[in-house]
Chain A
Amino acid sequence: MNEADRGASSLHMRRSLSEPVLPLTEEERASLWLADGPDTETDPTIDPAGHPAGHPAGHVERRELRAALRLPGEHLRMALHGLRVDVADDVMELADQGDIGLGLVLGGLQIDLFSGAGGSDDLYARLDLLDEAAALGIAQLLPSPPVDFADTVFAALGDSDAMLLSAFGDGELVGPERARVTRRALSESASQASLQATGRLGAQVREAATAGAALDLWGAISTSIGADASETDGGDEVGQALRQAVGQLPAIDISAEVMARVVPTARGASMWIGSIAPLMALAAAAIVLIGIVPALVGHSGNVLHTGSLSQLATPFVMAAVNDARVEGLETSKDVVAQVVQFDEGGPTFILVDDSVGTL
């Protein structure tokens, strides 16, 4: 890279990640929630370094992200493209604001943003906005409707905060008070585990949802019997009757025939059948009872042709721990690379958009 390419932009700088991690300055600590409120002064969950216990900080990714977030907004968006929009938008909003100092936790992803110190009221206003996102944890990464974490946070705070909990659950807490309640929930290991477990559940739900469309039996049934699809009164009785009738039927498995119509016949296709066989059996039972033969199985887009697993010469197996230390990172002009690790022990991602520019 020649001098002409080494513009004022930090994009061109080769970053040495052997630099020691600097402790937070007093200004930085003051700009964070960590230094405020009686609950944080004596909070044993906050370690002397100023980071909430249980929030293992990825120093490498924090430093990289900190540098990246001083970049012009467009470059940051380019670096974050491919991430879910709500995640990228939250971070973009922070970067655009300019003078913010706070920590944001999204599951295992930590983004510490240090870019000067703004006014405390302004800071708390943003903390309130983003601590809500933080309190929802990984749920923010889920497609709408989002998982409601209010109960999780509520349960994590204990009986002694009954009044606060009630207000929190009713959405009455605002500003610094709400931020403190959600921060405590995040700092407590029990709530962390719960949040992460719920986040994993949400991810599984998302995967299941994207694997295929849900079956809308009532819509098909109501059309066949001339009922209003929006009318669900008495549905419990109908459902009970249906369940009893289905239970008396012999097992019917049309999954192979259905999958043969949807997925190209291949040795690997059976990997997909097992996950939807129960739904297929229920659909088949409904068909027998109601006499409807609609296309109940729908897939949005094309289902992947799985091919044969034997095509992999050596199966790709992820190690339990994937500890990548990026010791040097250089990109061409107008190309941004960002280092992110989403899960502790998970693989490190080097996000890069090479749409423009070369070294």
Chain B
Amino acid sequence: MLGVALAAGVCGLPGAIHDASAADEKVLSKVQLTVLVVHATDSESGVDPRLASLASSFRYFKYSGFRLLSQQTADLTVNGTSTIVVEGGRKLKVTLGSLDSARAKLHVEMSNDQGKVLDTTVNINRDGTFIISGPRYKDGILMLPLRASY
């Protein structure tokens, strides 16, 4: 009886290890992409409190006001794509190229009403942020922080 029980226990172990590995792989198979759309303008002053964590990065720009227009999130699996509509008739198409415990590779295409204008691949650290900045909007520009968190 004991031998049978031990055998059953031993047979169970590989399954348990497999489940843990599968769980890890599941965790690393997707990222949460967050995209902010920020309007940098001189017609307003101050930094939107919701952008507090970015304020220190904005100080290098000549604009007096930074307003959050929208925030969009999407879960991306590897080779998955998400298209984000941005003010000014623009779109951001983001594809998750690869993913490991430390870094994620994102392929970003930006297009306006005339077609694609930017095509870039960014390898970003886990939970890191990079910012596409400069598309003109009204009296200022748009700033698009992108963060890949997982």
> Quick one: which of B46, B59, B63 contacts A211, CB cutoff 8 A?
B46
A187 beta carbon closer than 8 Å to chain B = no
CB-defined interface of B31-42 with A at 8 Å, one 1/0 digit per residue? 000101000101
- A343 adjacent to B117 (CB under 8 Å): no
- B49 adjacent to A349 (CB under 8 Å): no
- B125 adjacent to A321 (CB under 8 Å): yes
What is the CB-to-nearest-CB distance from B89 to chain A, in angstroms, rounded to a whole number? 10
- A304 adjacent to B65 (CB under 8 Å): yes
B47 beta carbon closer than 8 Å to chain A = yes
Chain B contacts to A: CB under 8 angstroms: 34, 36, 40, 42-51, 53-57, 59-65, 67, 71, 73, 90, 105, 110-112, 114-136, 141, 145, 147
Contacts of A304 in B (CB 8 A): 44-48, 65, 67
Contacts of A82 in B (CB 8 A): 40, 61-63, 133-134, 141
A240 beta carbon closer than 8 Å to chain B = no
Q: Taking A83-B61, A304-B45, A330-B120 as contacts, is the C-beta distance between A319 and B131 under 8 angstroms?
A: no
Contacts of A321 in B (CB 8 A): 125, 128
Q: Taking A314-B34, A314-B73 as contacts, is the C-beta distance between A350 and B44 under 8 angstroms?
A: no
- B49 adjacent to A309 (CB under 8 Å): yes
> Quick one: which of A210, A314, A358 contacts B45, CB cutoff 8 A?
A210
Contacts of B105 in A (CB 8 A): 327
A6 beta carbon closer than 8 Å to chain B = no
The 5 A-B pairs at the shortest CB distance, nearest first, are namely: A358-B115, A328-B121, A324-B130, A359-B116, A318-B53
- B47 adjacent to A141 (CB under 8 Å): no
What is the CB-to-nearest-CB distance from B45 to chain A, in angstroms, rounded to a whole number? 5
Query: How far, in whole Å, are A307 and B70 apart by their CA atoms in the complex?
Result: 12
Residue on B nearest A203 in the bound complex, by CB: B59
What is the CB-to-nearest-CB distance from B149 to chain A, in angstroms, rounded to a whole number? 8
Interface size on A, as a range, is 35 or more
Contacts of A358 in B (CB 8 A): 111-112, 114-117
A354 beta carbon closer than 8 Å to chain B = yes
- B119 adjacent to A350 (CB under 8 Å): no
Contacts of A311 in B (CB 8 A): 50
> Quick one: which of A307, A327, A353 contacts B121, CB cutoff 8 A?
A327
Extra 20 A-B pairs, beta carbons < 8 Å, given A329-B121, A352-B118: A81-B141, A82-B133, A301-B43, A302-B43, A303-B45, A304-B47, A307-B48, A311-B50, A316-B145, A317-B53, A319-B147, A324-B125, A328-B119, A331-B117, A350-B118, A350-B120, A350-B122, A350-B131, A355-B136, A358-B116
Query: How far, in whole Å, are A206 and B111 apart by their CA atoms in the complex?
Result: 34
Q: Taking A82-B134, A342-B60, A352-B110 as contacts, is the C-beta distance between A319 and B122 under 8 angstroms?
A: no
A97 beta carbon closer than 8 Å to chain B = no
> Quick one: which of B50, B56, B90, B145 contacts A343, CB cutoff 8 A?
B56
- A203 adjacent to B34 (CB under 8 Å): no
Query: How far, in whole Å, are A271 and B34 apart by their CA atoms in the complex?
Result: 24
A282 beta carbon closer than 8 Å to chain B = no
- A271 adjacent to B130 (CB under 8 Å): no
- B112 adjacent to A354 (CB under 8 Å): yes
Contacts of B110 in A (CB 8 A): 352, 354
Query: How far, in whole Å, are A142 and B50 apart by their CA atoms in the complex?
Result: 24
Contacts of B40 in A (CB 8 A): 82
Highest count of chain B CB atoms <10 Å: which of A318, A331, A353: A318
